[in-house]
Amino acid sequence: MLKTAVAIRHLAFEDLGCFEPVLERAGYKVHYYDAGVDDLWTLDPLTTGLIIVLGGPIGAYEDDKYPFLADELTLIEQRLAAGRPIFGICLGAQLMARAMGARVYPGPAKEIGFAPLTLTDAGAASCLGVFGDGPVLHWHGDRFDLPDGAVGLASTPLCPVQAFSRGPNVLAAQFHPEAGGEGFERWLIGHTVELAAAGVDVPALRAANAELGPMLGSRAAACLQTWLRGLNA
């Protein structure tokens, strides 16, 4: 039976990345909704098999600048209330945290580059355990508090809540498990202003992706496969 996975995308090049072929192999038909362009009201928050909310450079709290966030938050709130499978990445995780009543706010500095996570015991036992204490891709400036009822899964020194879950169907990651590997050059081009402002060494970041991308791609696949198997759909 064909299943549907919808990715809510905020930038054309911040797509499902390594996750897309995993979803296709698992029998999902993948669709994209571009936030701020496509009408989210046409996306049913209850009957859609899986929703993944992707990253982007705006703040989850910037409703005054980006009015579409109100519709997106409503959809996420409805999805969460129904207990249907949802996975948020970076901005997506921040929107999920906000929808669950947690505070989202600017961090003390940008966290951009490949660096390790510190997994909690729950994180090590979760699908994120495949990342161990090795490097993952970080690319954010905001952070959020742990929502009530959620379980913290990972942290970094700059970001005490890097991931959380609530039961088997709700997962949020501040870092980017889906990124790296092929297509990474688009990130370097598209985020050039942010990278320059943060003083990030672009050639070094490119070289790190070339070295780590294949390993992270296989870990991303294992992460998503494990989460999909555990869904209570």
Could you say which of 18, 72, 90, 223 is catalytic?
90
90 is catalytic: yes
* Sign, CA torsion 59/114/86/107: negative
Beta-carbon-side half-sphere exposure of residue 131 (alpha carbons within 13 Å): 32
Could you say which of 10, 176, 191, 223 is catalytic?
176
The residue-averaged pLDDT of 4-27 equals 95
Band of residue 224 on the pLDDT scale cut at 50, 70, 90: very high
Lookup result for tokens 């979803």 = 23
Band of residue 217 on the pLDDT scale cut at 50, 70, 90: very high
Cβ pair 96, 52 in contact under 8 A: no
pLDDT at 1: 59
The structural domain count of the chain equals: 1
223 is catalytic: no
Q: What is the pLDDT of residues 95-148, one digit of tens each?
A: 999 999 999 999 999 999 999 999 999 999 999 999 997 899 999 999 999 999
Band of residue 2 on the pLDDT scale cut at 50, 70, 90: confident
Distance CA 88, CA 71 (A): 16
176 is catalytic: yes
Could you say which of 18, 140, 178, 223 is catalytic?
178
Q: Residue 119 sits in which domain range?
A: 3-229
Band of residue 180 on the pLDDT scale cut at 50, 70, 90: low
| Domain of residue 146, CATH code | 3.40.50.880
